[in-house]
Amino acid sequence: MKRLIVNADDFGLTAGVNRAVSELHAAGLLTSATLMARAGATGEAIALARNNPALGVGCHVVLVDGVPVLDARGSLPQLADAARGEFPPGMARFLRTLYLEGGTPPVRAQIEAETRAQIQSLQSEGLALTHIDTHKHAHMFPSVLRAVLRAARGCGLSAVRNPFEPAWAVRATGGGPWLRIAQVSVLRWLAPVCRRIIAEEGFATTDGTLAVVGTGVLDDVMLRRLLRQLPEGTWELVTHPGYNDADLDRVRTRLRASRDVERAALAAIQEFPEIELISYRDLKPAST
């Protein structure tokens, strides 16, 4: 059996992203979306989630390139920039803080606290969240993963994205940026450790995530190649659909014109009726 979760990241980023999520879900092309707790259009996204109960909605935990829920100065002295009240831009600064400057234990405690706050802020709006993932796949690093999962478990969640793209999918993607391919391939050595942590914490996950290499370049041709080679199992297709509009121009993101392309590309999913589309609520929690 081939099962696929089609997830849109960055739900709540802008009204254009929210519009794309709503339209694609109504068309039967999108089964899941992960919502940012503190983004420009979070309130609208929450309302859309309430009005579309069949859409699986998770928490897109933001630890870089965003605004925290907790007070940056009082609660996140190492994790966030107190002067700006924001997380640092980019993964390099985040990892330097985690493993070098701040020391892992205190930063991990801040990650757990902030993750819990983001999840609870969405749950307090009446959302029954299906799972968690992280902006820029930050939870692929074991210290981050353990903290994120413990916060999520304390909030009653039991499913998480497997952030690793299998080698077959990287090959099938074709045309991805060489640097992105190298990063995904090198970081795959963390996958066994992360799978062990996910199992130890009792979380359900997929066999892998598709189109990580395709982020920013995913079009209908690339998507068809991936889906033609999809093996048996349960997989997640990570997408970033949206509308390249004035709201998006005001947001710090490298994904602009590509959001229109990805939105259009998802129509190709209709050509593969043998693939069962599911959401994270269809995954069973791992036994502990």
Please write the tens of the pLDDT for every residue from 77-118. Answer: 989 988 888 998 888 888 888 887 656 788 999 999 999 999
Range with the poorest average pLDDT among 38-52, 106-120, 179-193, 230-244: 179-193
For residue 216, what pLDDT is reported?
78
Mean residue pLDDT of the chain comes to: 91
The 3-state secondary structure of the chain, one letter per residue: CEEEEEEEEEECCCHHHHHHHHHHHHCCCCCEEEECCCCCCHHHHHHHHHHCCCCEEEEEECCCCCCCCCCHHHHCCCCCECCCCECCCCHHHHHHHHHHHCCHHHHHHHHHHHHHHHHHHHHCCCCCCCCEEEHHHHHHCHHHHHHHHHHHHHCCCCEECCCCCCHHHHHHHCCCCHHHHHHHHHHHHHHHHHHHHHHHCCCECCCCEECCCCCCCCCHHHHHHHHHCCCCEEEEEEECCCCCCHHHHCCCCCCCHHHHHHHHHHHHHHHCCCCEEECHHHCCCCCC
Q: From 3.20.20.370, 1.10.645.10, 3.40.50.2000, 2.30.30.30, which CATH number describes the 2-282 domain?
A: 3.20.20.370
Residue 76: what pLDDT? Answer: 93
pLDDT of residue 98: 83
User: What's the rounded mean pLDDT across residues 173-195?
Assistant: 84
Indicate the domain borders of the chain.
2-282
Report pLDDT digits (tens) over 107-157: 999 999 999 999 999 999 999 999 999 999 999 999 999 999 999 999 999
